[in-house]
Amino acid sequence: MDLHIPRGFRFAGVYCGIKRDPSKRDLALIVSDRPATAAGVYTRNLICAAPVVWDRSHTPSARIRLVVANSGNANACTGDRGLQDARQMAEWAAEKFGASVDEALVLSTGIIGEFMPMERVREGIELAAAQLDYSEAAFLAAADAILTTDRFRKVASRQIKISDREVCVAGMAKGAGMISPQLATMLAVIVTDAGLTPQQAQGLLVSAVDATFNCISVDGHMSTNDTVLLFANGAAVPSVEEGAIQSLDQAIREVCEELAKSIPADGEGASHLITIEVAGCATRADALKIARVVGNSPLVKTAIAGADPNWGRIVSAAGYAGVDFNPERLTLWVNGFLLYQNGRPQPFDPAAVSDAIRSQHTTFIRLELAEGNASARFWASDLTNEYVRINADYHT
């Protein structure tokens, strides 16, 4: 994959001892050469981590210089000490670049309820600062440093033209378990060399997250640390006129969607990415509600894991989603096979449908109602024995 790295950003990812495995990076720095606009969207869990508290109070902003991120420790449920540690991480990182503490953001992910090993963090910041670079390799090193139980790194980019200048949007994310809107155990950082106001950046990010990161699930468990950040430093174009906002909006959304889909695709122990489309609803909220319930159903997830075309689990999940619709007009397709139409099961070849599920990584579920023209799309993972093993062993 050729990545388009935005101008004016440097990256680094190092190992400093937060994780047990020295082969896995655990601290990243992302630094803008100039003050950047920053926007953020965060978990809605009332129990939220110290870095979320810090970042919420500092975004949106027009003068953020950097983010320091770590994996292996979430700095969540750590009380006043956790808040002090998050601030200290920001201060140590900011000092390296002549910035103030209020110009630095913090991301953390990993085990909940343990204090940060701050001396290791300080050493990691020193090490990462010395390795900062504008290169794709440095970007990928930073992307690796935020992973936990992920099986692969999650990166995406797009390049567009604004005012006859090339503008890049690039993003990195992590997440494989404890995934459920709003948001999920995931961190994501999107950077662009377009210039945006804080209001523009926040609006674009909220819209993109609503259609992407808030439409994924692995296990229905809302995390304490979920954060999506957008940085816009204006190194390519200092400002974006209203006429060009749409193209930048599309690029940001495409990057977010690619990253979002990669999370349930990498769900802990997952063997399938489930794409759920719900159409014919009165509102998008109704469609999304049904899709989310279907995607979070353990019975639907295990049916897909076992390549079982058990349509009853899918339609019954739609029925208890809390959306009023005419069940006599409900229709279901799985991987293009019509299984259920207008409230009645249809004749189909179970072996053929099972083989279609088993032989493909992505399973497509489409539900069609007759209540209106609104639709939504949602992505989920299946549920396997491996998910239980990973989460049973994670802390010990």
Active-site residues, by number, are 185
> Strand runs (DSSP E) across the chain, as ranges?
9-14, 27-42, 61-73, 104-111, 154-162, 165-174, 187-194, 216-217, 227-237, 273-281, 331-334, 337-341, 344-345, 362-368, 374-381
Integer Cα distance of 219 and 112 in angstroms: 17
Rounded to 5, what percent of the chain is helix, strand, coil? 35, 30, 35
Give the side-chain half-sphere CA count within 13 A for 232.
Answer: 28
Counted residue by residue, the chain has a size of 396
Integer Cα distance of 169 and 154 in angstroms: 14
Place of tokens 């975004």: 59
Burial of 386 (0-12, 13-18, 19+ CB in 10 A): middle
Integer Cα distance of 107 and 2 in angstroms: 26
Integer Cα distance of 302 and 271 in angstroms: 10
